[in-house]
Amino acid sequence: MKKDNNSARVEKAMSELEGLVTDFSASIANGTIDPEKFISISEIESRMMSLRKQTHEVYDNLLQTIVNEADEREIIRKKKLNTSRKE
């Protein structure tokens, strides 16, 4: 069940990341098509920094959720079982 939840979360995060990158690409394309409305280098850099922050947050939230859902008791039980078999 957790594996399914993680897969769904990864797919959702990837979709969100794809949307962020698509929006960024479109904003840069739109800002560089018309010479009358050309965006500045500082605006491009600002948008890049914003994209980095947003993607970092998406990855961070995804990874934190996956780590928090790890069943530590099950891991410890398996480790103890594995250790006792070796002895």
pTM exceeding the 0.75 threshold for the entire prediction: no
pLDDT of residue 3: 60
The tens place of each residue's pLDDT in the chain, 87 residues long, gives 456 777 888 899 999 999 999 999 999 999 989 888 889 999 999 999 999 999 999 999 999 988 888 777 877 888 888 877 766
Complete DSSP assignment for 22-80: HHHHHHHHHHHH-GGGPPPHHHHHHHHHHHHHHHHHHHHHHHHHHHHT--HHHHHHHHH
Helix (H), strand (E) counts: the chain: 3, 0
pLDDT of residue 16: 95
pLDDT of residue 83: 78
pLDDT of residue 12: 92
